[in-house]
Amino acid sequence: MSKVESAQHGSNITAPTELVETRLEKYAYRRLGLGRATAPPVLFLQHFTGTLDNWDPAVTDPLVGSREIILFENAGVGRSTGTVPDTVSGMAKHVLAFADAMGLTRVDLMGYSLGGMVAQVVALDRPSLVRRMILVATAPEGGEDIMHLEKPELRRILEDPKLTGYGRLVGLFFTGSESSQAAGRAFAARLQARQGDREPISGPQVAGAQIAAFRAWERIEGERFAKLRRMEQPCLVVNGVLDTMIPVRNSYWLGEHLPNAMLLTYPDAGHGCLFQYHESFVRQTNLFLE
Amino acid sequence: MSKVESAQHGSNITAPTELVETRLEKYAYRRLGLGRATAPPVLFLQHFTGTLDNWDPAVTDPLVGSREIILFENAGVGRSTGTVPDTVSGMAKHVLAFADAMGLTRVDLMGYSLGGMVAQVVALDRPSLVRRMILVATAPEGGEDIMHLEKPELRRILEDPKLTGYGRLVGLFFTGSESSQAAGRAFAARLQARQGDREPISGPQVAGAQIAAFRAWERIEGERFAKLRRMEQPCLVVNGVLDTMIPVRNSYWLGEHLPNAMLLTYPDAGHGCLFQYHESFVRQTNLFLE
């Protein structure tokens, strides 16, 4: 790889979007740090309606080094073909098809929000694939109050005519405090740093299927949280204590019922805690993965 | 200071116990790392019935370096004179008398269990003294299920004739898993490494007054947890998810109501989580204090 390619692959601002044909769909992905890896790659699984362009370079880029970062776009999102599954386990099947096509046999999973749920199912369906998991702002199956956009505190932001695009994202992901809002604006600016080769923005059909998946994920079948005991991988669970999209008690349950999970919560932070505290989050992730 | 003295002061296994006269009582303390400090000292506040000898050298010693560690023995415990107060705020007064006599104007507080409650009152009573706080396996005022030794799961250990001395401590502080018990035995061995110059073991009068202080600390007066909002210091809150002496939900409340607290919980760990995961705990403490 040339020096230019290598620099390009060092950041989610510049890494090219690639496509891979698999037994299921053709998936869009980006690969950061190509060719420098000694540890397993970290496979990033994205949040509700998010595309590859929603990964904050302040989180992805500093994690590149002794490991590769692979950002994955699930079926029906961005330039990945197919339709968005309406269950988390349907989404996990696409992760496995992608892993197989890419020749990935051992990865660490970075599952954020919806992606954290997909990560849990991947770890159950194919334990040998998953070395460690970072589960950010997410919930166990049978969790509560997961992405109820009809709640007053979320509707207030979603229906605010002054908030559009990134402004709305900042409203949803950050708290009302001055410092959290400032962190939110910096986050939005970082997401806009990528010039061209951007993914199409998710439409209502993506949101609809993903919301259906959240509703199914809330169902309690059999003994609540029993499945968590079977995920023996070391896990790092992270959330902001003021997350209104997936409240922090869901992270408490993960910390209590996963056999080997360290929990970390951040003050004055919501769903976007990893972006607000990106320096600490990267440091903790590096510590955890090493 | 000579090289021998310097080495002696590097560990709680060898540091001499010193005494200081103050406006209230004469307090026993140990000072680790004397003369090497560039950062504020960390003042350690001890758990229920614990003395200076209950500080695990695996936790104290590696924290010595750019900072001093001062282990403090409250009134009526070990060789400190006076009677054990039956309120947390009574104990906090002794911390302030000690700080004044020692000329301490700015410290970090390491408050473990009962010591974490004392730390909170010190931070409220004299905010200027406290730069940062580490609150381990503790509870806010108005917390729940604090040190109810009459609970079946604690009585089972306290009344087990096979468990005495350190064995009982391991039973109370560690979980039933093989790895936690092994960590507990290693902890007990470390506590016994100190040869001579040991503190007298606490008797029932210490326990009785401290239990009375726990009962008073559980009371809810006015708006629950409102005082936490006034503690603006950066805090690191730590607990084991299986703590039976002060359950982890008390740590959740600290993380949610302190304005600037990061919470960290450990899996398969109880009240002695900091000793079980001493390497991680020291790393996290260093990160937090630096």
B25 CB neighbour count, 10 Å cutoff: 20
Rg (CA), chain A: 18
Side chain identity, residue B37: A
* Residue B118 near residue B217, CB atoms below 8 Å: no
Task: Mutate one of A229, A237, A262 to test the B interface: name it (highest B CB count within 10 A).
Answer: A262
The distance of A280 to chain B (nearest Cα, Å) reads 9
Q: Report the distance separating Cα A49 and Cα A205, nearest Å.
A: 10
| Chain B partners within 8 Å of A280 (Cβ) | 262
The distance of A265 to chain B (nearest Cα, Å) reads 5
Please, which pLDDT band fits residue B3 given cuts at 50, 70 and 90? confident
Judged by a CB distance cut-off of 8 A, whether residue A259 touches chain B is yes
Q: Do A265 and B259 touch (CB under 8 A)?
A: no
Give me the pLDDT at residue A65, please. 84
pLDDT in tens, A255-277: 999 999 999 999 999 999 999 99
For tokens 């020749």, the residue is A103
* DSSP output for B131-195: EEEEEES---TT-SS-S-TTSHHHHHHHT-TT--HHHHHHHHHS-SSHHHHHHHHHHHHHHT---
B192 closest CA partner among B158, B167, B171, B228: B167
pLDDT above 80 for B154? yes
Instruction: Name the pTM for this structure.
Output: 0.97
pLDDT above 90 for B66? no
Give me the pLDDT at residue A5, please. 75
Percent of chain B with pLDDT over 70: 99
Reduced DSSP (H G I as helix, E B as strand, rest coil) percent helix, strand, coil of chain A, to 5: 40, 15, 45
Q: Report the distance separating Cα A140 and Cα A127, nearest Å.
A: 17
Give me the pLDDT at residue B36, please. 65
Average pLDDT over residues B58-81: 96
Give me the pLDDT at residue B38, please. 84
The distance of B95 to chain A (nearest Cα, Å) reads 28
Q: Do B265 and A283 touch (CB under 8 A)?
A: no
Phi, psi dihedrals of residue B187, rounded to the nearest 5°: -60, -50
Tokens of A92: 């996990």
Determine the distance from the C-alpha atom of residue A224 to the mean position of all C-alpha atoms in its chain, rounded to a whole number: 24
- The mean of the pLDDT values for chain B is 96
Strand A130-136 vs strand A235-240: parallel, antiparallel, or unpaired? Answer: parallel
CA-CA distances (angstroms) from residue A149 to A155, A166, A255? 6, 17, 25
Q: Report the distance separating Cα B112 and Cα B46, nearest Å.
A: 6
Give me the pLDDT at residue A118, please. 99
Those residues with Cβ within 8 angstroms of residue B150's Cβ, 6 or more apart along the chain or in another chain: none
Q: Report the distance separating Cα A129 and Cα A13, nearest Å.
A: 28
pLDDT above 90 for B87? yes
pLDDT in tens, B117-140: 999 999 999 999 999 999 999 999
What end-to-end distance do the CA atoms of chain B give, in Å?
26
Cα four-point dihedral sign A223, A227, A232, A236: negative
Tokens of B152: 């079946």
Q: Do B255 and A267 touch (CB under 8 A)?
A: yes
Phi, psi dihedrals of residue A112, rounded to the nearest 5°: -110, 120
Give me the pLDDT at residue A7, please. 81
Give the 3-state secondary structure of residue B237. strand
Of A265, A267, A283, the CB nearest to B260: A267
Judged by a CB distance cut-off of 8 A, whether residue A252 touches chain B is yes
B289 closest CA partner among B137, B135, B132, B138: B132
Judged by a CB distance cut-off of 8 A, whether residue A243 touches chain B is no
Of A256, A261, A265, the CB nearest to B262: A265
Percent of chain A with pLDDT over 70: 99
Q: Do A263 and B263 touch (CB under 8 A)?
A: yes
* Residue B86 near residue B216, CB atoms below 8 Å: yes
Please, which pLDDT band fits residue B1 given cuts at 50, 70 and 90? low
Q: Report the distance separating Cα B165 and Cα B128, nearest Å.
A: 39
For tokens 């502080």, the residue is B173
Buried b (16+ CB within 10 A) or exposed e, A180-204: beebbeebbebbeebeeeebeebee
Phi, psi dihedrals of residue B283, rounded to the nearest 5°: -60, -45
pLDDT in tens, A215-254: 999 999 999 999 999 999 999 999 999 999 999 999 999 9
Rg (CA), chain B: 18
pLDDT in tens, A26-54: 999 999 997 767 899 999 999 999 999 99
The distance of A106 to chain B (nearest Cα, Å) reads 24
Give me the pLDDT at residue B285, please. 98
B164 CB neighbour count, 10 Å cutoff: 9
Strands (E), chain A: 18-21, 26-32, 42-45, 69-72, 107-112, 130-136, 235-240, 261-266
In chain B, how long is the greatest CA-to-CA distance? 54
* Residue B174 near residue B264, CB atoms below 8 Å: no
Give the 3-state secondary structure of residue A200. coil
Tokens of A171: 């409203």
| Mutual angle of helices A204-217 and A88-102, in 10-degree steps | 110
Average pLDDT over residues A161-174: 95
Give me the pLDDT at residue A1, please. 59
In chain A, how long is the greatest CA-to-CA distance? 54
Give me the pLDDT at residue B135, please. 99
pLDDT in tens, B182-219: 999 999 999 999 999 999 999 999 999 999 999 999 99
| Mutual angle of helices B178-191 and B165-173, in 10-degree steps | 140
Please, which pLDDT band fits residue A9 given cuts at 50, 70 and 90? confident
Task: Mutate one of A252, A253, A283, A290 to test the B interface: name it (highest B CB count within 10 A).
Answer: A252
pLDDT in tens, B165-175: 899 999 999 99
pLDDT in tens, A69-107: 999 999 999 999 999 999 999 999 999 999 999 999 999
pLDDT above 80 for A2? no
pLDDT above 90 for A66? no
Class of residue B118 by CB neighbours under 10 A (exposed 0-12, middle 13-18, buried 19+): buried
Give the 3-state secondary structure of residue A178. helix
Nearest residue of B to residue A281 by CA position? B262
Nearest residue of B to residue A279 by CA position? B287
To the nearest 10°, report the CA torsion of B123, B127, B133, B136. Answer: 10
pLDDT in tens, B6-53: 788 899 999 999 999 999 999 999 999 977 678 999 999 999 999 999
Q: Report the distance separating Cα A271 and Cα A114, nearest Å.
A: 11
Give the H/E segment covering residue B98.
Answer: helix B88-102
pLDDT above 80 for B92? yes
Q: Report the distance separating Cα A286 and Cα A276, nearest Å.
A: 17
Residue B63 backbone class (left: φ over 0; alpha: ψ -120 to 50; beta: rest): alpha
Q: Report the distance separating Cα A4 and Cα A116, nearest Å.
A: 33
The distance of A281 to chain B (nearest Cα, Å) reads 12
Q: Report the distance separating Cα B80 and Cα B51, nearest Å.
A: 10
